[in-house]
């Protein structure tokens, strides 16, 4: 046992104990952000990797040419490092995955530091899927149809991904996500500011829907006016003794000659001084994806760049954490992974493209008639968000149009959507994320509760969408039809994107 390990053990923190108790925190990122495969992806060359990564690069069978977007680790002059912090664990990124990771480490006795480039915790994801959590199990007596066979769900996820998944990762979610939700529930309900809700609904059944839905969703409901889910989790972390440091930009990891990561270099953005964080127990990178790194997106997901436009929501994921991991010898999935949502609108004279700015369009994923710019229907409108967008990629200008009339509040009730796009109470009576109410044209800028605007999304999800809308009033003045072309929200949330 090394001296570093001895130090951690004296505090009651062991690798086995931390991983066991912190599994739920790791699953939080999986449940909130999708399930990405892990395989023999990109291995950087020996010039930019140490330890195991350099050894892998020396093997002709696994060698890869470093992409242009990777670059090399920044050089920081030792004289510029004017502060040193010693901890057991450092977590880089205080978002959907990072904050639970800080809490898990602190609950297990670690001295933990969490850093983030933002000024405060923001946009922690609140709609999370899980299997076999307490609220779900309690509903089985009244709603036996909500019960889920974990293996059946696992296989449906594998089918959905055409096999491009890591079975172990999906199984981890299926086995541990329920415990994670129960853990988060106890934390967020401790002061009476939140109540965890189980969003029980299966949507259209009896063979009338092509794709099966699962009652996995839950969301914390704010019970006080100023309650903020992310801030509340951060406050709990600090109650446990964790230190959260904001306006602090991650620069790179530090390694020993044998490749072991020993800590990080970061920069205080307020006065621009550099600091070294020595982490005897480990470094957790929870920096999100690379959706705002144009070079990485073009290299790994060029098709999503053609589909997206920017809506200004979310954080600023630039891939810095991914590049830092690769510099240390990590591998990256061969395929780029993105979660896409058809929830935005652009102007009538615009079409899809990463350089287009639009607005959030909450009704985008409702199964209204969808046609391309030539007026031809392009897909089965009832399906997962990304299915419509994959179809849109094959259409003129990668853009399509939603067609619906002023009776849409009743129509969306009939279509019986599930998950966070549901606009009416769930089958078990719980409220939807965004209730359906009559609203002005979809380009409305208002974000007041009760309108069809969207709640603030996760900081690690760069919201981008393609949507085009037009308003046509019939001569009678009795009916207003809205025609909106829903496009993509390209969001990359996994460090292995």
Grade residue 157 by pLDDT with cuts at 50, 70 and 90: very high
Q: How far apart are CA 458 and CA 33, in angstroms?
A: 9
Residue 422: its pLDDT value, please? 85
Q: How far apart are CA 98 and CA 89, in angstroms?
A: 12
Q: What is the mean pLDDT of residues 303-321?
A: 84
pLDDT tens, position by position, 117-128: 999 998 888 888
pLDDT tens, position by position, 421-472: 888 888 888 888 776 655 444 434 433 332 232 222 222 223 333 333 322 2
**pLDDT above 80 for 16:** no
> Is 244 in contact with 98 (CB distance < 8 Å)?
no
Residue 36: its pLDDT value, please? 27
HSE of 310, CA atoms in CB hemisphere, 13 A: 12
Q: Which domains does the chain have, with CATH numbers?
A: 3-33+67-286 (3.50.50.60), 339-491 (no CATH)
Q: What is the mean pLDDT of residues 43-52?
A: 44
Q: Spell out the residues 6+ positions from residue 368 whose beta carbon is closer than 8 angstroms to its own.
A: 381, 402, 403, 404, 408, 411
Q: Spell out the residues 6+ positions from residue 180 whose beta carbon is closer than 8 angstroms to its own.
A: 23, 24, 25, 27, 28, 31, 100, 130, 133
In the DSSP assignment, the letter for residue 108 is T
**pLDDT above 60 for 8:** no
Residue 309: its pLDDT value, please? 78
Residue 13: its pLDDT value, please? 52
Residue 207: its pLDDT value, please? 66
> Is 442 in contact with 482 (CB distance < 8 Å)?
yes
Beta bridge partners of 470: 483
> Is 321 in contact with 286 (CB distance < 8 Å)?
yes
**pLDDT above 70 for 62:** no
What separation in angstroms does the CA of 270 have from each of 190, 247, 248?
A: 34, 7, 8
> Is 27 in contact with 13 (CB distance < 8 Å)?
no
Q: How much of the chain exceeds pLDDT 90, in percent?
A: 49
Burial class (CB within 10 angstroms; exposed 0-12, middle 13-18, buried 19+) of 399: buried
Question: Which one is predicted more confidently, 212 or 44?
Answer: 212
What is the separation of C-alpha 88 from the centre of its chain, rounded to a whole number of angstroms? 27
pLDDT tens, position by position, 328-357: 999 988 888 777 788 878 888 999 898 989
**pLDDT above 70 for 396:** yes
Q: Spell out the residues 6+ positions from residue 347 whose beta carbon is closer than 8 angstroms to its own.
A: 358, 443, 468, 469
């Amino acid at each position: 046992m090394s001296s570093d390990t001895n130090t951690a053990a004296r505090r009651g923190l062991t690798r086995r104990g931390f991983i066991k108790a912190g599994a739920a925190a790791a699953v939080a990122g999986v449940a909130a952000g999708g399930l990405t495969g892990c395989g023999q992806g990109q291995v950087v060359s020996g010039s930019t990797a140490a330890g195991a990564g350099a050894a892998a690069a020396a093997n002709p069978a696994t060698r890869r040419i470093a992409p242009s977007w990777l670059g090399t680790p920044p050089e920081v002059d030792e004289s510029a490092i004017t502060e040193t912090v010693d901890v057991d664990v450092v977590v880089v990124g205080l978002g959907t995955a990072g904050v639970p990771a800080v809490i898990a480490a602190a609950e297990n006795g670690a001295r933990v530091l969490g850093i983030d480039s933002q000024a405060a915790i923001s946009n922690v994801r609140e709609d999370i899927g899980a299997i076999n959590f307490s609220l779900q199990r309690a509903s089985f007596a009244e709603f036996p149809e909500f019960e889920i066979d974990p293996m059946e769900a696992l296989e449906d996820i594998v089918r959905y991904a055409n096999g491009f998944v890591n079975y172990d990762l999906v199984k981890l979610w299926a086995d541990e996500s329920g415990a994670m939700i129960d853990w988060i529930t106890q934390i967020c309900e401790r002061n009476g500011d939140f109540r965890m809700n189980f969003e029980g609904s299966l949507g259209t059944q009896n063979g009338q829907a092509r794709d099966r839905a699962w009652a996995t969703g839950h969301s914390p409901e704010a019970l006080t006016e100023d309650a903020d889910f992310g801030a509340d989790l951060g406050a709990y972390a600090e109650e446990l003794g964790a230190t959260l440091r904001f306006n602090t930009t991650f620069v790179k990891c530090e390694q020993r000659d044998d490749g072991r990561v020993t800590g990080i270099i970061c920069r205080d953005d307020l006065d621009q001084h550099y600091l070294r964080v020595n982490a005897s127990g480990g470094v957790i990178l929870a920096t999100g994806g690379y959706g705002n790194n144009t070079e990485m997106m073009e290299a790994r997901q060029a098709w999503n760049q053609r589909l997206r436009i920017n809506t200004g929501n979310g954080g600023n994921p630039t891939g810095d954490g991914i590049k830092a991991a690769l510099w240390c010898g990590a591998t990256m999935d061969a395929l780029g992974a993105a979660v896409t949502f058809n929830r935005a609108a652009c102007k009538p004279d615009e079409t899809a493209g990463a350089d287009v700015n639009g607005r959030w369009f909450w009704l985008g994923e409702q199964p209204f008639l969808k046609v391309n710019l030539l007026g031809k229907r392009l897909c089965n409108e009832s399906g997962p968000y990304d299915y419509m967008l994959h179809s849109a990629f094959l259409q003129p200008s990668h853009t399509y149009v939603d067609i619906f009339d002023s009776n849409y509040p009743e129509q969306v009730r009939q279509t019986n959507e599930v998950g966070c796009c549901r606009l009416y109470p769930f089958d078990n009576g719980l409220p939807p994320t965004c209730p359906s109410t009559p609203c002005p044209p979809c380009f409305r800028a208002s974000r007041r509760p009760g309108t069809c605007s969207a709640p603030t999304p996760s900081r690690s999800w760069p919201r981008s969408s393609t949507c085009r809308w037009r308003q046509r009033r019939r001569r009678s003045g009795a009916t207003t039809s809205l025609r909106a072309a829903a496009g993509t929200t390209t969001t990359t949330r996994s460090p292995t994107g």
